[in-house]
Structure 1
Amino acid sequence: MRAYSLYSAVLFLLPVVAFAQLTVYPIAHSNPHTSSARQKAFEPLSLPFWDDFSSLAHTDTLWEDKAHIWINSGSAINPPTINVATFDGLDGNGTPYAPNPNQNLDTGPTDIMVSRKIKMTEVSIAEQNSVFLSFYYQWGGFGEAPDPNDYLRLELLNDTGNWIEAFTLRPTDAQEPDQFYYAELRINQNQYFHDDFQFRFQAYGRQSGRFDAWHIDYVYMNKGRTEGSRSIPDRSLYTLLSPAFGSYYAVPVTHLLTQPDQSLYPRFGLSNLEGITQPSNYNYSARVESYKNNSLLQEVSIQLRDYLAILPTMLAYEQRVIETDTLPSISNIDPAADSVVVSNTITLQADDTIRPDFGNIDFRVNDTISTVSILKDFYAYDDGIAEYAVGLTQPGNVAAYRFVMQTPDPDTINGVYVYFPTSYGTFASTVMFYVWDNDNGKPGTILLEELVPVQRNSNNQFVLREFTPSAIVQDTFFIGWRQASGRVLIGLDASNDSGEHLYVNTGGINNPNTWLQNTVLTGSLMIRPRFGPGTVAPVTSTEGRIKKPVALYPNPTKGEFFLEGRAHQLQVLSPSGRPVRIEETEEENKKRIKLVSPLPGLYIVRYFDGHTYQSQKIIIQE
């Protein structure tokens, strides 16, 4: 972590997150951390003011207005403590400040965060020259970088009720986008020593999405400070625990039980925010819950490590990744379980406490992290939280995501969980998914294809699409999609990087020689292949090799249509992907299909033609 004292404008610049084959997009997010406290009438605060955003309950008592701000742990790179406050072009409900598509390049004021009132008259005249406000900041991080004209501004409320600009941060090549920088401001002018004093952060940038990101952390204002002294008696956790199952946050429980030695020891990040070397210790505990048909079979709590020393001793202002040296044993899992919930908790024992010279600040609030892994029927590289979305740049391009199974046995892939995040613009209503076998580390033969309805959601809600038929895979396989004529976006977890497993093909689905391994996108796609029982049928598809589908007409229709040719195991799927009720009548060389309760929309007609499963689109009109 680097230090930087600020009294004037400074900043840095990050490249645009668009690549030859892939583009990263901002997404809408609802803010679960919107303050309820701001609705209440609070007495003005006394110094010190301190917020590292690690405790949401604590944060809610400090800010009069932070409803626009996204408190999160995944969009910044190596912050001082877990969680940051992110400023961008979306409000607290995930809505752009300028939602009109024709205004997507408009810039203006975006997110704002306003402190509660502070009783500055409590500061004696002799102490006024020792009042400093400090914080750490980063622009870009894992997000979209501010442009040269964008800024983050700090303003102070004076005794006449006017907001006064203190300083403004702007992009500059003098700083790096993956570092946090320290900023401090002496507050010693008479106009600020009143009982309605406040400060606020105001961002300015693109107003149409999660663009021009700024992240701040560790906001601290107090008297008795000296210029350039950023030393705080605080050891803090700054990352969540890393995946424990190889590269995966989740694996099928049946796979884990057959080959448990594939697991890795979790890691976590530790910061020493004090200007001297400091010893630290930690406790490591776990809870393992085994379930069968959603009923709890057993629960086991384990103390894995107790007051384990972190060696060598942490240096002044050091950040270090600590690797644990143990894991919960699989003997704690009930063999009859069909799902398991594993909760791992790290608690620092750093002797951080409430010190009189720092007022009433409790530095222990950032000393504990917990990570919950759900082991059921799927693999997941992602942690379940999307910071952004990713899409292919051109129709016809194909993306394939590699998975290495944690079992030596073959198994049946019978579906996929996908997170299609809510964003802004025009999107495809369906997308073709594929499963490939492995050909020397690249996608090989297509094992199945499935037309998947694109159900866009917020709040990281995955959609399950079952595969009919399923496919048998072993060791290594790929799952991915082909870009339709409309845009298709997949959730991107920026905090855990599995980008090396992503391949892109710009030559089309039938050109195996144009697969390129991703080298530029950082993060994990929110695509989770599911395993379990399924019917396996041969696939002779796809584009260029697929049998000519049977005739479907009329299309569009008001709810009745014909299928001419061999069509068995017929299904009609609604825009949400659910089967709808139909009446089926056999006629000479064709079938008459009637929807029982037709509603307008794009439907999928799925059938088996004697060789493979086929899908066709049909539009139902009023």
Structure 2
Amino acid sequence: MMKNKMRFLSLLALMFYVIFPLQVKGQLREVPLSRNSQLESKNVHQRSNHIGTFTVYLPIGGGTDFCAADFIDLAESDSVFYDVCEKELQGILSINGTCVSYDHLGNRSSELICLSVCDTNNMCDEYEVMLVSGPMLPLPFFDDFSTARPYPDENVWLDRDVFINNTLATGPLSLGVATFDGLDASGTPYEGGFGYSDNLTSAFFDLSGQSDIYFSFFSQPKGEGIKPRTIDSLAVDFRNAQGKWVRMWQMQGLPNDFSISDPAPEFAYTRFIIPDSFLHNQFQFRFRNRSKNEGLQELWHIDYVRLGADEVTQEAFRDLAMQFPPTSILSPYTSMPAGQFDKPEVRQTIASRVNNLDLVNLTMNDPTFTVKLESQILLQRTFIEPVQKWLLSPGVSAFDFDMNDGGSTNYQTLQNNLFDVLTPGEEYEVISELRFTRTDEILGAELNNIVTAVTRFSNYYAYDDGTAESAIIDRGSAGVKPTKLAVEFHNNVDDRLQGVQLHIPHIEGNSSSLFFNLFLWIDSLDDEPEYIQNGLRVYYADTYFDTLSGFTTYDLRDSSGQKISIPVPAGKFYIGWEQIDISGTKIPMGYDLNSPAGVDFLYFNVGQGWLNAGVSGGLRRGSLMVRPVMGNQEVIATTTKEYSLWDDFAVFPNPTSGLIH
């Protein structure tokens, strides 16, 4: 059971190699991931001879009819059998030959019907038909994907295939887009090769008696990922009164001469009127893409999906929207041990970008920055400078909000309050929130006027935000000296190093049989590390326990194999490693592209001395996901973590102020 569970615990997103050459005979390469730690992966219902699953949508309390021939090419001699798969249905099922009628009763549900198709030799293929009931939604409809993450809002969407994120699109209109790729809801590539991939299916609308109803959205191919090819596509289907899906719009991928380095096209606006034949009482729309179904490839992103009258679906509309979360309150770290915090670690300015989606200037009212620890407010400041910039012209405006605007001392207040509340050895989550107000935006748009970020004070240092968009490997080959890599950290007071956490993501190939050496340098990167641990084996964190962060913990051992900790005085220290054998598969290290400051603290040595990756690495700016664990408490290495019954429960998303799963 354990191995079966682990099979579904991780996320696979196969991507091609992206090489960023070094200015020396370099051996660092940035490579894409083949799993996505931002998604959860769960066991799903499987039958031993299960061929496929088909989905039928119906309104809560409504009915539907379907036939086996709607999904499968039947021979005249085939026999068709229906049965309840695992538990009783909420509604009433009526079977008429190869067809079914189902009347839904009760609350919203997803229910399974088993379908067997047998030939004259009694050889049977088994399928599942999932009956998904959904609510009726009012007009106008609007979703800019700024709240739910990483799955679509289940109150308005009936499936979970797409990935809601704020990292993969280029220049999103607001915080959050829906990304279509070649991965299912658990992050596993779809099977079967080229074909349909993700679906994003709306709940129901009663459009009977309506007129002049429009549907609009914005879309972008590629973004920060891999472009869709010309044979790939993004499409929109409408459901007609007979329950059949009809293709209404389709866009092909980018041309072959569109290079990897070319910037993604801007988000494009699409709108069309709903034909009269679709103005019925169970209207739905859906987006779907076609891809190789091999991973996080052939990306499409959509935003601002709207359905309603002419005036609420136009290209320009009244909305001011935050594009990204606020920057961390720390600099340069995103997390650090509470006992190492000192007042200069606080960032004085908070960066933000606000998009005016109208054709006229709009005023951003009362931009306010709040920092709190649980219910305790550590800082709340409504910025008053530069007030002349609060009137925003159409397009994107960038801000660096200064906590000490207007001659205030808010920066010092936050420094002092953090210093007072943080106790060494304890763990804290500090929430920072940036918001502004407007009272005349389009319906639902007020939700993108608020963005939040979490700063964790625990037992480790981190430059990263906990999620990797890419990975770094040693690109050397047999006969070439392995590259040493090292990340610089700084202790404000004497401490003890208990272990190291590494985000070792899945890329092409399996690194779990490979080994590396771990190093600690104190004060400077000289030739002799203060500590070396040879022959550490690669362990994928998700192989041993349910994890959303995906960090593998390595404790420290002496020459006899006894667990130890190492004193590290105040000042600089460096955590480094090298792969022992680079002739074959490479050991990847997670690379967070949304935390650019970390590359300035990354160094590499190909045998010609240490070089700073931010200057000589040829890499995109980002942070290597390496975390030294400090303090007096021993760490538990990943390979010795016990897997208990409680590990079957994964709270997601975490943190959240909404629904948990």
Report the TM-score, using the length of structure 1 for normalisation: 0.70
Q: Distance in 2 between matches of 1:574 and 1:534?
A: 13
- Residues 113 and 201, structure 1, Cα contact 8 Å, conserved in 2: yes
Matched residues in 1 for 2:285 and 2:341: separation?
52
Match runs of 1:40-439 below 5 Å: 41-56=133-148, 59-65=153-159, 67-98=160-191, 106-124=193-211, 128=212, 131-160=213-242, 161-172=244-255, 177-178=263-264, 180-225=266-311, 229-257=314-342, 260=344, 263-280=347-364, 281-288=366-373, 300-306=376-382, 308=384, 311-326=388-403, 327=411, 328-332=414-418, 333-334=420-421, 336-352=423-439, 361-394=443-476, 397-398=482-483, 400-405=485-490, 407=492, 411-422=495-506, 425-429=509-513, 430-436=515-521
- Per-residue CA deviation, residues 470-514 of structure 1 (Å, 9 max, x unaligned), is 363664443233234543233332322233433444x4xx55368
Secondary structure class of the residue paired with 2:153: helix
> What is the deviation of 1:92?
0.5
For the Cα contact (< 8 Å) 2:522–2:568, is it kept in 1?
no
- Call closer, same or farther: CA 1:133–1:578 in 2, change over 3 Å: closer
- In structure 1, the partner of 2:617 is 518
- AA aligned opposite 1:431: F
**Corresponding residue SS for 1:405:** strand
Return the alpha-carbon distance in structure 2 between the equivalents of residues 302 and 263 of structure 1: 14
Give the match's secondary structure for 2:340. helix
- The whole-number CA distance in structure 2 between the counterparts of 1:148 and 1:331 is 56
Kindly indicate whether the alpha-carbon contact (under 8 Å) linking 2:434 and 2:450 is maintained by their aligned counterparts in 1: yes
Return the letter of the residue paired with 1:63: W
Counterpart-to-counterpart distance in 1, 2:593 and 2:423: 35
Residue-by-residue CA offset, 1:592-615 (whole Å, 9 max, x unaligned) = xxxxxxxxxxxxxxxxxxxxxxxx
- Spell out, residue by residue over 1:117-158, the C-alpha distance to the aligned partner (whole angstroms, 9 max, x if none): 32232422xxx2xx4322223333332333343322223334
Letter in 1 for 2:322: L
Query: Which residue does 1:491 correspond to in 2?
Result: 590
| Consecutive unaligned residues in structure 2, runs of 5 or more | 1-14, 22-27, 43-56, 58-106, 111-131, 404-410, 559-565, 643-661
State the partner residue of 1:502: 602
Moved more, 156-165 or 243-252: 156-165
Deviation for aligned residue 1:391: 3.1
For residue 577 of structure 2, the aligned residue among 481, 488, 493 is: 481
- The 1:122/1:61 distance shift into structure 2, 3 A limit, reads farther
Contact map agreement 1:415 1:529 (CA 8 A) in 2: yes
Distance 1:114 1:436 in 2: 53
TM-score by length of structure 2 reads: 0.66
Q: Specify the code of the residue in structure 1 equivalent to 2:156.
A: L
Q: Structure 2 CA distance, aligned partners of 1:445 and 1:162? A: 67
Report the residue type matching 1:25 in the other structure. L
Per the alignment, in what secondary structure is the counterpart of residue 225 of structure 2?
coil
Aligned length: 495
Matched, 1:448 2:544: no
Cα 1:344/1:336, change in 2 over 3 Å = closer
CA RMSD of aligned residues (A): 3.7
User: CA separation in 1, counterparts of 2:154 and 2:297?
Assistant: 25
Q: Which secondary structure state, in structure 2, belongs to the residue aligned with residue 225 of structure 1? A: helix
Q: Distance in 2 between matches of 1:120 and 1:463?
A: 52
Indicate conservation of the 8 Å contact 2:337/2:424, yes or no: no
Partner of 2:629: 530
Contact map agreement 2:180 2:299 (CA 8 A) in 1: yes
Q: Which runs of 5+ in 1 are unaligned?
A: 1-13, 290-298, 536-572, 580-622
CA-CA distance at 1:97 after TM superposition = 1.0
Q: Structure 1 108/388 Cα, relative in aligned 2: closer, same or farther at 3 Å? A: farther
Deviation at 1:312, TM superposition (A): 0.8
The answer (yes or no) to whether the contact 2:356–2:396 under 8 Å persists in 1 is yes
Structure 1 residues 348-387: Cα deviation after superposition (integer angstroms, max 9, x where no partner): 332235x7xx5xx222222222222112332211111233
Question: Which secondary structure does the structure 2 equivalent of 1:302 belong to?
Answer: strand
SS of 1:266's partner is strand
Identify the residue that residue 293 of structure 1 maps to in structure 2: none
Q: Are the equivalent residues in 2 in contact too, given 1:399–1:482 (CA < 8 A)?
A: yes
- Mapped to 2, the partners of 1:37 and 1:390 lie a distance apart of 45
Amino acid aligned to 2:396: Q
- In structure 1, the partner of 2:19 is 18
> d(CA) in 1 for partners of 2:637 and 2:37?
26
Q: Distance in 1 between matches of 2:523 and 2:359?
A: 52
In structure 2, do the counterparts of structure 1 residues 346 and 374 end up closer, same or farther at CA, with 3 Å as the change threshold? closer
Alpha-carbon distance between aligned partners in 1 of 2:624 and 2:368, rounded to the nearest angstrom: 32
CA 1:264–1:81 in structure 2 vs 1: closer, same or farther (change >3 Å)?
same
Do the aligned partners of 1:107 and 1:205 also contact (CA within 8 Å) in 2?
A: yes
Structure 2 distance, partners of 1:15, 1:426, is 15
* Contact 1:260-1:330 at 8 Å conserved across structures: no
Instruction: Note the C-alpha offset of 1:345.
Output: 3.3
Q: Which residue number in structure 1 is paired with residue 552 of structure 2?
A: 463
Contact 1:134 1:182 (8 Å CA) reproduced: no
**How far did 1:403 drift?**
2.3
- Tell me which amino acid in the other structure corresponds to 2:219: Y
Give the whole-Å Cα distance in 1 for the aligned partners of 2:552 and 2:208.
56
Distance in 2, Cα, partners of 1:32 & 1:534 = 29
Residue in structure 2 matched with residue 3 of structure 1 by the alignment = none
Check the 8 A contact 2:197/2:289 in 1, yes or no.
Answer: yes
Counterparts in 2 of 1:448 and 1:133: CA distance versus 1, 3 Å = farther
Contact 1:421 1:460 in 2 (8 A): no
Name the amino acid aligned to 2:229: D
Given that 2:371 and 2:377 are in contact with CA atoms closer than 8 Å, whether structure 1 keeps it comes out as yes
Which stretch has the larger CA shift, 181-190 or 51-60? 51-60
Q: Is the 8 A contact 1:436 1:444 kept in 2?
A: no
State the identity as a percent.
21
Distance 1:369 1:390, change over 3 A: same
